[in-house]
Amino acid sequence: MQTRTRRTSLSLLSFALALSLAPLAQATDAQAPDGPRALPGSLPLIPAPAQLQRLEGAGYTVTSTTALRAQGAAAQRVAGLFATQLQHSGGPALAVASARGTDGIRFVLDATLKTGAEGYQLRSDARGVTVQAATEAGLFYGAATLSQLLTGGSNGVVPALKIDDAPRFSWRGLMLDSARHFQSLDEIKRVLDAMAEQKLNTFHWHLTDDQGWRMEIKRYPKLTGVGSCRIPAGDGGRDPVTGAPRPYCGFYTQDQIREVIAYAAARHIQVIPEIDVPGHATAAIAAYPELGTIDTPLQPLSEWGVFPNLFNTEESTFEFLENVLEEVIELFPAKYVHVGGDEAVKDQWEANARVQERMREVGAGTENEMQAHLIKRLEKFLEQHDRRLIGWDEILEGGLPPEATVMSWRGTEGGLKAASEGHDVVMSPVTDMYMDYLQTNSENEPPGRPLTTPLGRVYGFEPVPDALARDKEQHILGLQANMFTEHTRSVARLHHNVFPRLAAVAETGWTPRDRRDFADFLARLPSQLQRWQAMGIAYAQTPFEVEADVSDDRKAGTATLALRNPLNYEIRYSVDGSAVTAQSPRYTAPLTQPLPVGVQAATFFNGQALAKAASRFDITARSLLTRNDEHLAMCPGEGKLLLRLEDDGPLEGERAIFNVNIFNPCWLWEKADVDGIASVRVRAGQIPYYFQLAHDEPQRRFVKARSAHGEMDILNAQCDGKPLASVPLPAKPGADGFITLEAKLPRSLKGRQDLCVRFTGDTRPTMWVLDELTLVPR
Q: What residues form DSSP beta bridges with 480?
A: 173
Q: Report residue 508 CA to chain centroid gap.
A: 17
The span from the CA of 725 to the CA of 514, in Å, is 60
Q: How many CA atoms lie within 13 A of 698 on its CB side?
A: 1
Angle at 737 between CA 715 and CA 497, to 5 degrees: 85
Q: Are 310 and 282 in contact (CB under 8 A)?
A: no
Nearest to 685 by CA among 181, 230, 234, 15: 234
Catalytic residue (one of 204, 268, 280, 338): 280
Q: Are 662 and 651 in contact (CB under 8 A)?
A: no
Q: How far is CA 264 from CA 76, 195, 384, in A?
A: 18, 10, 26
The contacts of residue 500 (CB under 8 Å, 6+ apart) are 455, 525, 528, 529, 532, 539, 540, 543
Catalytic site residue 423? no
- Residue 542: strand, helix, or coil: helix
Catalytic residue (one of 29, 193, 209, 507): 209
- Around Cβ 268, how many Cβ atoms within 10 Å? 22
Catalytic site residue 496? no
Nearest to 434 by CA among 309, 533, 307, 342: 342
The span from the CA of 667 to the CA of 657, in Å, is 15
The full DSSP string for 45-101 is -SSPPSEEEE-SS--EE--TT--EEE-SHHHHHHHHHHHHHHHHTT-----B--S--
- Residue 130: strand, helix, or coil: strand
Judged by phi (left if over 0) then psi (alpha if -120 to 50, else beta), residue 243 lies in left
Catalytic site residue 462? no
- Around Cβ 612, how many Cβ atoms within 10 Å? 11
- Residue 523: strand, helix, or coil: helix
Q: Catalytic residues, which ones?
A: 209, 280, 343
